[in-house]
Chain A
């Protein structure tokens, strides 16, 4: 009954289905396979548009806009008419002579919808979010002329977009998005954080249970060894009081982005860099790597770390350890406030730890969320019939008004001006979604930019965030801002678009290399592999293309550095 099992037992993993073998064995009748193609993209059947809801009242050029619904449980783009932010946004469309016609697809379904429509060339919108398409497909569409060049489009507008991308806040993002032919073909979400007027970023670090430290009478660990002692003491003294030695470090060391690797100076991905050096390397080549594995091996062999969490594909087990009151330390944002309420114990609190000294002669690094984020992709497709309207929409999305509506909403409703600074009111915070929805007072960010129809624009002083988190975390954040050296969480924010060739080379390498790297790291941590054979491991990784990958990323990083000058 293989067929039946396949049909019924499918887990919620769309990608696996999308790519599970074109010739999917044993699954009769159903077409749960992957891609294929169009016969030349000629199939433009338009009679099957989904939930198209036009704004009938407005005049102007109609633009079809396709995008996902928000993933917010209360605030939905489909209910936009009741929000005053939307009413203000609609006016901006009218002013620019655009009549937007939206097709909203559920967010979980959007990836499939955009993939199939783009690949088959049918039912194409004028403007769409294509963040979920892979690099290889995107570059192919670019080469086939499926997308309009943003660089050319901004010449046809009123100059707002041109100013935004060439000299304004969008400059960095535009640099990252520019392809080898000198054109950018998509626009992205942009977020910039400052502190004290300068670019600044929040960090992800190891957090330790402060209340448990108090229980065992230890102060905050300042070295990796003290950290180890603290974990051991917590377990020995049974700080959660359930009679079991189950107080553990709960994190997933299959990837190098885990906090502890950074104590040993390691970069966060299989190929990445220390921002201050701008030199791409791999953790496997760095000095601290062997000590790192020795340290984790010690934690694992003494059961101070939950090894069953290594490499799991969902976070459920990890969340469960935290909730069960078993996680003595976790790896998360320094200003994280959402785990403590889930812990089944009174007074649980996690204290962020600055990168600890762990090995002699090695400076620990700090993993930061880059101060300038640029992510996601929105494109104009070749379906556009009126270039001026497209240019007008582009200008609109680059305008100050759009930025204000998205980030702050309506003055007096969702934000107020205090001492010349904008400040969000409580109703605009994440905790007030339900109320915001019932009162029709949401900021644009929640209504259309939360991974949804339009790109996010967010330019905030970190002072705002620091003011709302508990004092220990606020203090920590203020101090860590100065910390150097740093490594990026998500190095894509420093690496411009690859050339088509680079995309193909990387694709041929990455999966096997990552598999081997994760597996090797896991085996070294668990003691299933020995450090004695180090050279052979490195040879293996090199044979799988590690150096080629470093080369590709280095050339991208060089392009980025050059553009800063």
Chain B
């Protein structure tokens, strides 16, 4: 009896694996084969050298954790980590919640045309190039910019906001969220759309109010999506929107704006530090990867939703 069952299971699994096989092959080729490149984090590599070789003549200089230690003991390590994590946390909090709230509110709009219009408008900023966005933001917060004018109207004194390190995290977070919340909310809107309308109908028959519908039907239905998105964003705790920061930051606010990505960029200007930058990237990736596991565990425990 047991043997027959397991043979059936094997047959079923063969079927299942044949379905997923094309994806596995593509991922194995294009994502896994190049992974050996990470080894240069443990070498003194220069372009043209071999990374993997069994011959002694290849001249690979293995240096162990030298580059990792250099980064960790470097003068900017603490500052860079602090800024990266802080900006990411802000981004997780606002970048995650605002699309959810927006989707829920938009779902309550009954005028279908208006709903579509707002939704389309909300994702337009996603398409404006970073350079133009940064240019707009910088003119906006300049000492003679629109924002300073507003502050003056309300009795404050105008100042140059991008030379003061205290304001950087706000400027960055607002710009970032503004640019992407509409685009990110598409996912939640689709999750809401997938809720069985029969559920609403029967709840309405039972006399449920709008807020109750939202709380007892809509939110639970999109909870798995929310949980996954939260897990994924926790997994990017050590990555930031480097392109935007590069355009907005200056030595005047390095104190609060310099992150891993911008540090690597500055190393890149001089060039040649392939092993060092790979080591920094690898360190960040390992931490991100571990964070996903932690977040997943937590999510599994508290919400029941998890990646596996």
Contact = CB atoms under 8 A, between A and B. Distances in A.
Interface of A: 1-2, 4-6, 8-13, 15-16, 18-27, 29, 31, 33-41, 115, 118-119, 121, 133-137, 140-141, 144, 146, 244, 246, 254, 303, 306-308, 310-314, 316-317, 320, 326, 503, 507, 510-512, 514-516, 518-519, 521-523, 526, 528, 544
A2 B278 contact: no
Given A25-B238, A308-B160, A311-B251, 12 more contacts: A11-B134, A16-B265, A115-B47, A134-B271, A136-B46, A307-B143, A307-B160, A308-B138, A310-B251, A317-B138, A515-B254, A515-B266
**List of 3 A-B pairs having minimum Cβ-Cβ separation, nearest first:** A21-B281, A134-B271, A136-B272
A408 B251 CA distance: 44
B278 A13 contact: no
Given A26-B236, A140-B49, A316 B131 contact: yes
Contacts of A10: 130, 243
A2 B277 contact: no
Interface string B62-77: 0000000000001110
Interface residues of B, number: 84
B260 A21 contact: yes
A103 to B, nearest CB: 20
B284 A9 contact: no
B305 interface: no
Contacts of A2: 232-233, 236, 239
Given A15-B265, A21-B260, A507 B272 contact: yes
Contacts of B267: 19, 511
Contact of A544 (B38, B75, B264, B282): B75
A31 B34 contact: yes
A167 to B, nearest CB: 34
Nearest to A31: B34
B247 A507 contact: no
B93 to A, nearest CB: 14
A21 B280 contact: yes
In this complex, the member of A22, A38, A512 whose beta carbon has the largest number of chain B beta carbons within 10 angstroms is A22
A36 B242 contact: no
B162 A308 contact: yes
26 contacts: A2-B236, A8-B183, A11-B243, A12-B131, A20-B261, A21-B277, A23-B38, A23-B278, A23-B281, A26-B239, A29-B31, A35-B37, A36-B40, A40-B53, A137-B48, A141-B47, A146-B48, A306-B142, A307-B252, A308-B143, A308-B163, A317-B135, A512-B74, A515-B251, A521-B251, A522-B251
B268 A23 contact: no
B203 interface: no
A511 B143 CA distance: 30
Interface in B105-163: 126-127, 129-131, 134-135, 138-139, 141-144, 160, 162-163
Interface string B262-304: 0011111111111001101110111010000000000000000
B180 interface: yes
Contacts of A38: 48-51
B251 A519 contact: yes
A19 B275 CA distance: 11
Contacts of B272: 134-137, 503, 507
A518 B250 CA distance: 9
B215 to A, nearest CB: 25
Nearest to A42: B50
Contacts of A312: 138, 250
Contacts of A316: 131, 135
Interface of B: 30-31, 34, 36-38, 40-41, 45-53, 58, 74-76, 126-127, 129-131, 134-135, 138-139, 141-144, 160, 162-163, 179-180, 183-184, 187, 229, 232-233, 235-236, 238-239, 241-244, 246-247, 249-252, 254-255, 258, 260-261, 264-274, 277-278, 280-282, 284-286, 288
A180 to B, nearest CB: 17
Contacts of A118: 47-48
Contact of A16 (B242, B255, B286): B242
B268 A5 contact: no
A146 B144 CA distance: 55
B265 A22 contact: no
Nearest to A518: B251
Nearest to B162: A308
Contacts, number: 257
Contacts of B266: 511, 514-515
A505 B95 CA distance: 42
A14 to B, nearest CB: 10
Given A13-B243, A511-B266, A121 B48 contact: yes
Contacts of A15: 265, 268-269
Given A23-B278, A26-B288, A308 B142 contact: yes
B45 A37 contact: yes
A490 to B, nearest CB: 15
Contacts of B34: 31, 36
Contacts of A135: 271-272
B270 A140 contact: no
A544 B74 CA distance: 10
Contacts of B163: 307-308, 310, 522, 526
Nearest to A503: B272
A300 B58 CA distance: 56
Contact of A5 (B180, B246, B249, B254): B180
B228 to A, nearest CB: 11
B192 to A, nearest CB: 16
B245 to A, nearest CB: 10
Contacts of A26: 235-236, 239, 288
A4 B50 CA distance: 33
Contacts of B258: 515
B278 A1 contact: no
A1 B252 contact: no
A36 B49 CA distance: 9
A22 B51 contact: no
A32 to B, nearest CB: 11
B45 A22 contact: no
B196 to A, nearest CB: 26
Contacts of A544: 75
A4 B99 CA distance: 14
Contacts of A141: 47-48
Given A2-B236, A24-B281, A136-B46, A254 B160 contact: no
A303 B233 contact: no
Contacts of B285: 21, 23-25
B57 to A, nearest CB: 9
In this complex, the member of B31, B246, B258, B280 whose beta carbon has the largest number of chain A beta carbons within 10 angstroms is B246
Contact of A510 (B58, B134, B270): B270
A422 to B, nearest CB: 39
A522 B250 contact: yes
